[in-house]
Structure 1
């Protein structure tokens, strides 16, 4: 009778150990999923709020002329040199 109680106790200890390790492995993923869903919900709510507050305003282009960025200027210069050299 005594050995049966020891075997059951060892089995319970082993099962609880495995369950505890499983929880430790799954917990960070579960927390991340909950956090992502909360952020997605907040983004959806903010987007809906923007749609409600600005329904009639269309996107207007700026009247101010824009300057090309340095990267664009450099890339255009490289393209023109390629055409000349070939």
Structure 2
């Protein structure tokens, strides 16, 4: 019985050590699948006209400096 408990302890510790690596591997594979699908969709779309997309510009808001007289 003592040998079986020792085996279970080693198996549980081994699983705890491998769990983060396996979770990371599964996450990386999911991200790779999503990137491949996005690339496939991008290539399947017809090319857009050159003037259709306009760049988005934002204006900066000027904030007074702390302690500056307004």
Q: CA RMSD in A?
A: 1.8
Relative to structure 1, is the Cα distance of residues 10 and 50 closer, same or farther in structure 2, using a 3 angstrom cutoff? same
So what's the TM-score if we normalise by structure 1?
Answer: 0.53
Larger Rg: 1
Unpaired runs of 5+ residues, structure 1, are 1-8, 61-86
CA deviation after TM superposition for structure 1 residue 10, in Å? 0.5
Unaligned runs of 5+ in 2: 52-70
1:40 is matched with which residue? Answer: 32
The answer to whether structure 1 residue 50 and structure 2 residue 42 are counterparts is yes
Task: Classify 1:33/1:58 alpha carbon distance in 2 versus 1 (closer, same or farther; 3 Å).
Answer: farther
Q: Could you state the TM-score of these two structures normalised by the residue count of structure 2?
A: 0.65
Q: With CA pairs under 8 Å and 6+ residues apart, which has the higher RCO, 1 or 2?
A: 2
Q: Structure 1 runs of 4+ off > 4 angstroms?
A: 57-60
Name the counterpart of 1:20.
Answer: 12
Q: 1:53 to 1:13 in 2, by over 3 A?
A: same
